[in-house]
């Protein structure tokens, strides 16, 4: 296969890094829009701190590549420009860089050097760009203070014990009460973006208007959710496939994402860190069962606001043609209270239903335990 470098990432995003793409028909290097500002664009925001893994740096001005005419600096050494447009590191950490040309200075970017970027598993069908297995993303907006939420939690458990388990990836966004030990601002952003006005509330594939609420019984909720899962599977085919590798490195989880593009479209990706087996008292207004243990709780993710819920673009604009395989790296921070052995990473790839739309929806999603890998899956 031919290899083409795709220039990615315009800003210093602390938890986002992107590298290169490959395809039989390489995409042209994306050109930043002509803004009159000088722009420094890295080929990746993540490198291994081995002195050889490199980020290629390109400087743009008004849509023209001016790298050979510009100077690139490390913020920590502003008196001496880099000797080449290739950046390597031998020590881990965040490296801030910027470019200058005449009186123009670019915005700063950050490249993170880590001890290891986990390798993706082998693709059993590297030349295949269709027929991907599709799963539905179901978000249970919930909380320990919500007395009717156990009716939905019980239904989720029932679905996970059924033949629907491999059709859906569940996420529990604890946003009902801030005293909840699993409450997070990311879950609150999700609830706001999905228009949650009451609890329990289950949203599907990041579609604001596709939701279910409590029917009053666990069985009724399970039946309702299975119907929505079936409808989502019937309404859209998987136009993209996902492969994932995860590893705990220090106080963060490094997530390598492989994305196979089977349709000309714009694409965004997201990665969320979940934890299961969390013990916390749950208010219960009559649902049968024990609900003192909580699973799939959203701990963190690359969600900085309600606008980030749909993920961040692959490359500069997310636009790719069918037949591309892309690599993307994301870092998710850990807290001392997290139990890593009970954690999974949920990775989703999102596309607009109608080209040109600003609204993106989940086209495919996978779940990967921390320290493990998931290969591309086909029907």
Contact 304/5 with Cβ under 8 angstroms?
Answer: no
pTM: 0.87
pLDDT at 30: 63
pLDDT at 25: 40
Phi-psi region of 206 (alpha: psi -120 to 50; beta: other; left: phi over 0): left
pLDDT at 27: 41
Contact 297/274 with Cβ under 8 angstroms?
Answer: yes
- Give exposure, 2-27, as e/b (b: 16+ Cβ within 10 Å): eeebbbbbbebbebbbbbbbbbeebb
Measured CA to CA in angstroms, residue 266 lies from 153, 156, 262 at distances of 34, 32, 11
Q: Which two tokens stand for residue 159?
A: 């679905």
- Find all residues with CB under 8 Å of 356, minimum gap 6, and list them: none
What's the rounded Cα separation, in Å, for the pair 16 and 109?
11
CB count in 10 Å sphere of residue 108: 14
pLDDT at 23: 36
What's the rounded Cα separation, in Å, for the pair 261 and 239?
7
Contact 54/47 with Cβ under 8 angstroms?
Answer: yes
Closest CA to 263 of 317, 303, 222, 322: 322
Q: Which two tokens stand for residue 335?
A: 């807290």
- Find all residues with CB under 8 Å of 60, minimum gap 6, and list them: 31, 32, 38, 39, 41, 66
pLDDT at 308: 87
Contact 51/92 with Cβ under 8 angstroms?
Answer: no
What's the rounded Cα separation, in Å, for the pair 182 and 144?
9
Bridge-based pairing of strands 252-261 and 324-333 is: antiparallel
What are the structural domains of the chain?
Answer: 3-114 (2.60.40), 136-374 (2.60.40.10)
**What is the 3-class SS of 302-313, one letter each residue?**
CCCCHHHCCCEE
pLDDT in tens, the chain (379 residues): 222 222 233 233 333 333 333 333 434 456 777 777 899 999 888 999 999 999 999 999 988 999 999 999 999 999 999 999 999 999 999 999 999 999 899 999 999 999 999 999 999 999 999 999 999 999 999 999 999 999 999 999 999 999 999 999 999 999 999 999 999 999 999 999 999 999 999 999 999 999 999 999 999 999 999 999 999 999 999 999 999 999 999 899 999 999 999 999 999 999 999 999 999 999 999 999 999 999 999 999 999 999 889 999 987 778 899 999 999 999 999 999 999 999 999 999 999 988 778 899 999 999 999 999 999 999 9
């Amino acid at each position: 296969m031919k290899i083409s470098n795709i220039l990615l990432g315009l800003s210093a995003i602390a938890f986002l890094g992107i590298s290169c793409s490959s395809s039989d028909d390489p995409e042209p290097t994306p050109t930043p829009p002509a803004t009159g500002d000088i722009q420094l664009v890295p080929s990746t925001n993540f490198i291994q701190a081995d002195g050889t893994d490199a980020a290629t740096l390109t400087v743009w001005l008004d849509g023209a590549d001016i790298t050979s005419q510009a100077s690139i600096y490390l913020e920590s050494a502003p008196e001496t420009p880099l000797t080449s447009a290739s950046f390597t590191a031998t020590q881990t950490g965040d490296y801030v860089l910027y470019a200058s040309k005449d009186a123009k200075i670019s915005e700063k970017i950050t490249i993170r050097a880590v001890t290891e970027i986990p390798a993706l598993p082998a693709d059993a069908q590297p030349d295949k760009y269709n027929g991907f297995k599709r799963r539905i993303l179901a978000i249970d907006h919930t909380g320990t203070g919500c007395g009717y939420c156990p009716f939905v939690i019980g239904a989720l458990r029932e679905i996970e014990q059924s033949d629907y388990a491999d059709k859906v990836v569940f996420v529990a966004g604890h946003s009902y009460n801030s005293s909840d030990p699993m409450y997070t601002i990311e879950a609150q952003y999700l609830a706001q973006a999905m228009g949650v006005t009451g609890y329990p509330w289950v949203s599907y594939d990041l579609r604001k208007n596709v939701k279910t609420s409590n029917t009053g019984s666990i069985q009724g909720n399970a039946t309702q959710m299975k119907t929505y899962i079936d409808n989502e599977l019937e309404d859209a085919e998987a136009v993209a496939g996902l492969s994932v590798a995860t590893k705990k490195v220090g106080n963060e989880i490094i997530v390598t994402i492989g994305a196979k593009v089977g349709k000309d479209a714009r694409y965004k990706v997201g990665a969320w860190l979940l934890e299961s087996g969390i013990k916390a008292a749950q208010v219960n207004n009559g649902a049968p069962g024990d609900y003192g243990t909580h699973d799939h709780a959203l701990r963190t993710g690359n969600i900085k606001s309600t606008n980030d819920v749909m993920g961040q673009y692959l490359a500069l604009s997310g636009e790719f043609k069918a037949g591309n395989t892309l690599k993307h790296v994301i870092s998710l921070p850990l807290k001392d209270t997290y139990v890593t052995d009970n954690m999974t990473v949920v990775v989703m790839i999102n596309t607009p239903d109608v080209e040109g739309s600003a609204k993106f929806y989940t086209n495919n999603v996978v779940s990967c335990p921390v320290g493990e890998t998931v290969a591309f899956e086909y029907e």
